[in-house]
Amino acid sequence: MFCCRHLFFIFLLLGSCTSTSIITVDEPLSDGHDNVLVSSGESFVLGFFSPGNSSRRYVGIWYNKVSEQTVVWVANRNNPITNNSGVLSLDKTGNLVLFDSQKPDVVVWSTNVSSLSSFGESNYSAELLDTGNLVVHNSKNKGFVWQSFDFPTDTLLPDMKFGVDRRSGLNRFLTSWKSSDNPEAGSYSYMIDINGSVPQLFLYKDKDPFWRGGSWNGLRWTGVPELRSNFIFKVSYVDNAEEVSIVYGMLNASIISRMVLNESTGTIQRSTWHPGDHRWDNFWSAPQDQCDYFSHCGVYGDCSLYNSGEYECKCLPGFEPKSPRDWYLRDGSQGCVQKQNSQLCRNGEGFVQLAEVKLPDTTKTKLDMNLGNKACAELCLKNCSCTGYSGADVRGGGFSGCITWYDKLVDLREYSRGGQDFYIRVDAVELAKNTKKSKRIQGYVKVLVPVLLSAVIFVLFALAYWLITKRKKALRRKEGMMWFQNDTNKRGISVHGSSMEEEVDEIETSNVDVKFYTLSTIIDATENFSLANKVGEGGFGSVYKGKLRNGQEIAVKRLSNTSGQGIEEFRNEVTLIAKLQHRNLVRLFGYCIQREEKMLIYEYLPNKGLDCFLFDKEKKSVLDWKKRFDITLGIARGMVYLHHDSRLRIIHRDLKASNVLLDLNLNPKISDFGMARIFGNNQVEETTRRVVGTYGYMSPEYAMEGLFSIKSDVFSFGVMLLEIITGRKNSSYQSENFINMIGHVWDLWGESNALEIVDPALGNTHEYDSEILRCIHIALLCVQESAAARPSMSEVVFMLCNEISLQPPGQAAFLLRTANRGLTNTSSGSVGGVSVNDYTISTVEGR
């Protein structure tokens, strides 16, 4: 290729130059299609571009190996060139200068570094590095005299320093683009704020706090428990007399990663590029939920998403709502005030520990790194203005350094894990109340431990006695006494007599209304499990239609030995369903468990499962949109009952179309509670090492971390709602060029083409388009990557029944099956909320 030298006008006439990584005084860069700088490793490109549909020209840096042009830095973001006559060159002082060749005397943009010419103009050059950093350096000085990394726009790249240089005052922060086709500085800025004794991470909107990442505690920002050093990137944080900065470095250089401030969503997002899918996948963003917004619950308010459907805001110990009326209306902006007659100055006050929280705003605090927990508490008590304290460094799980607060406490929130302990100052009355609770719990422990130990010993002795007795009976039983054998003429079981010596295991059902059926009764009702009465089959076994002697029709779920549902799951299902009564839950009549047989006896529903209609080319036409919506609403109401309204809080853990049965009028009834779990009234989530359920319906936090909650069921409901709308199984998209159904819908939603997914079997649905779009919107809210951001099922029912304005859905989660039959989360993927697309789990039990 030809490279321009000597006369500058020749360069302009040719308008073409070799794609190198360097600009010199003799080799400028002019606007032209082929005129770009390419970094030495071909990772980044610098050149002129026009964003979106704009005709304005900018100098920017973008990825070279990303199929869609993704700009990471813009030189003249606030001063575009209106034609294609731009030139970027080094002037005689060594500064990079951008100008319009038609107006060569007007500087559009410049690095504007003073006193560079002392080395001589021929010694300066500008180079695009493979990190995405544009630098100006000279041959006599190994350092950079200027670098684009010091002046970021909306993107933070790996190894880019982010923060404040205390010596020079240089502040490296992000500012969003004004719009997708206008890189001018927008409304949002993301920076480290060094006001106060402890630096904090902030996202501002129009210079007002919008989200706060909190202070650095030695491991992470207190408001960002997900982002810390891990197996994907390393974090380097510096806070000294010279600077406050943080650098994120990738451990695997082949992973393309960035952090970008998005104007349209008002979020800071960390994402990675997946070349095979040609897409950016976000694995962290903020704000994610209502508790993330700055001071959502006002002063002395605490925000929690774990209040079991109640208002997320509550007052801190010793405080009460300033405006009870607004609080009742779920407006916590006015915050809380100290309770009347509280005495917080040398009147026997103390501290109440708030565990797993984001520390309050540290703008008005003091820091002493030489104090531990006890000394920190004593320091705070000596000053009546001190409102609370916490540790500054929690590395190693200890308490090192002391932060004390001297103003109103603002912007606290609770986390399920990854938070930090904060100690709030309370008066003697509040302290006694909390101390009494603590002592009561300790007292319970002292009493219950020996009682439970004695009970366990008693149960073990009783169990041993029962096993010995049962063994003796079995030995005395005649070998020839068999209460069923295979019939030679038809599949099933033939009875030889009705001896009452059949071995029977009865489940404890004294507190539930459920009946035990003998094997002979079931054999008689199903005509010896004849093929004519077989109505279904799955991984669990077979289902048979039957009729009792009183004329009652029943459905018999006969579990196979290879179903994976053992005696515990069987007992679980019997005792759970018997206690639940709701029109949208299947009714259990009884059970039969004898020898190797385990059977459940249900009400007979002639239309089988929802999947038999939804995924059948001929039958699906029976389900018009109105019926599908009614089915959706019925399922949602059944789940509300399980999660909130029943005597027990039930997490289903295997909600899917085949586990929703349809009655004669196509009304839905949720079934199959073998994998369900009971939660306590105050229990939010639980972790298990045994992940069970069905691929495609499991939430990412459950599939990959074993963490399940009511929000896990919400995710499954969202997947099923999309199947109801599309008339296709989630798994059916794997054979096509899509991540999966969720990924396909997410793409179309982003392109405003979501109605393309509607099942063609529905025909003309124009009159229902708004309702269908609302359902798609609700489904995407349900399958958000963040469990906390997903709505509760009661909120889902409210959204389905009311035409209200819905918040935009956050990043959806995409789960893929990998080659070793495990699962991969291409969106959020790992412990701590960090993602790689090769992180798998292989302990999933298919149903």
557 labeled binding residue: yes
* DSSP conformation letters of 643-706: IIISSSEEE-S---GGGEEE-TT--EEE---TT-EEE-TT--EEE-SS-BS-TTTS-HHHHHH-
What whole-number distance in Å separates Cα of residue 494 and Cα of residue 502? 14
Q: What letter represents residue 24's amino acid?
A: T
Structure tokens at 800: 């389905």
Catalytic-labelled residue, pool 654, 672, 713, 759: 654
HSE toward the beta carbon, residue 253, CA cutoff 13 A: 5
3-state SS assignment for residue 762: helix
What are the Cα distances from residue 364, in Å, to 199, 385, 405, 639?
11, 11, 6, 46
- Dihedral sign for Cα atoms in the order 772, 775, 777, 783: negative
DSSP 228: S
For 174-211, the three-class secondary structure string (H helix, E strand, C coil) is EEEEEECCEEEEEEEEEEEECCCCCCEEEEEECCEEEE
d(CA 639, CA 399): 43
Q: Which of 289, 290, 419, 435 is nearest to 349 (CA)?
A: 435
654 catalytically annotated: yes
Residues 689/704, Cβ–Cβ less than 8 Å: no
> Which has the closest alpha carbon to 671: 586, 608, 575?
586
Alpha-carbon dihedral sign for residues 409, 414, 420, 423: positive
- Residues 115-150 as b/e (b if ≥16 CB within 10 A, e otherwise) read ebeeeebebbbbbbbebbbbbbbbeeeeebbbbbbb
Q: Which two tokens stand for residue 161?
A: 């320093």
Residue located via tokens 């400028």? 28
Tokens (6 digits) for 816: 């893929």
Residue 395: is it exposed, middle or buried by C-beta count within 10 angstroms (0-12/13-18/19+)?
Answer: exposed
Active site residues: 654
